[in-house]
Amino acid sequence: MKRTVVIAAMEREVQPLVRTWQRTALSSGDQNWIAFEKEDQAVVISGIGKKNAERVAQVAVARYQPATLISAGLAGALIRSLKAGSLVTPNVVVDAADGREYRCAATDVDIVGGGILVTANEITGAEGKGKLAEQFHGLIVDMEAAGVAKVAQEKQISFRCVKAISDEADFVMSPMARFVNETGNFQSGRFAAWAAVRPWQWTRVVTLGRNSSKAARALCEWLEKNLFRDMRAAEVVTLERAELPDAIARR
C-alpha cells in the first residue's frame, strides 16, 4: 500500500525525482509499465495519452491502494503569461473530447494555483492552443490529467494535478504526434532521424528540449517538496456544464 501514486506520461518528466528510487515493473495481463518506489510513494510511467493514463491509474490503484493520485508532467501554455518552467496546479480539469469536468483543490500559493487544465487527444500546436483557450477558458493543455481524474473519482480517492510548462502559447510545434506509438511511447530515435535531415526544424527541437528539461526540473522540485509531507485532502468531483462559469468566476 502506498499513500500517494504519481502518474506521469514519460520517464524523462520525472527523472530528476526518481533517479535514486527503486525501479520496478507494474504489470497487468501482457502489459508492463515502469514504476519507481520510495517509502510510501510510487511513480508510474503511463505513456502519452488519456487512455494510457487512465489504464495505468486503474492498475496502480489496484496494486498500491493509494490515498491520493497525482497527475504530474509537462504541459503546454494556453496563455502568453505562462513561460517555460512555470508550474500550475489547476483546480478544474476538462476533457476536451466530451466536455466532462473534474475539480480538485489547488495546492500552492507561491505558484500558479487554480484555473483550468484542458486534456486534449493530440499534441497541440499554437493554432490549436488558441482554440482550446477560447472554448474552455483554459490556462494549460496536457494529454493525461482527465484520465487520472476519472479513475480517482471512480475509486473515490483524492486527486491532485501539477504540471510544468514545456512549450509556451506561441511555440510552433514540430509534428511530434507521428512519432508517438499506440502504447504512448515517444519514438525518439525515429524523431531524431527525421529532424536530422530538416535543418529548419533544428531551432525548434533544441528550444523544446531545453524548455522540457527546465520544466522537468521545476516539476520534480515541487514533487520532492510536497510528496513527503501531508497534503490537504482534495476530493475530486465532477462539474456540471452549468457550474463552469461559477468556477471561473471564483478563480
The neighbouring-strand residues paired with 238 are 102
Minimal CA–CA distance to 102: which of 42, 55, 154? 154
How many structural domains compose the chain?
1
* Residue 228 predicted with pLDDT over 60: yes
Cβ pair 213, 164 in contact under 8 A = no
Residue bearing the bigger pLDDT, 183 or 7: 7
pLDDT for 184-208, tens place per residue? 888 888 999 999 999 999 999 999 9
Distance in angstroms (rounded) separating the CA atoms of residues 242 and 244: 6
C-alpha neighbours within 13 Å on the C-beta side of residue 89: 18
In degrees, rounded to 5, the angle at the alpha carbon of residue 210 between the alpha carbons of residues 190 and 197 is 35
Query: How do residues 90-141 score in pLDDT, each as one tens digit?
Result: 999 999 999 999 988 655 545 666 899 999 999 898 889 999 999 999 999 9
CATH code (residue 235): 3.40.50.1580
Which triple of cell numbers denotes residue 70?
497525482
pTM for this structure? 0.87
User: For residue 50, what are the domain limits?
Assistant: 4-249
Task: Point out the least confidently predicted range of 104-113, 212-221, 230-239.
Answer: 230-239
Distance of alpha carbon 5 from alpha carbon 12, whole angstroms: 17
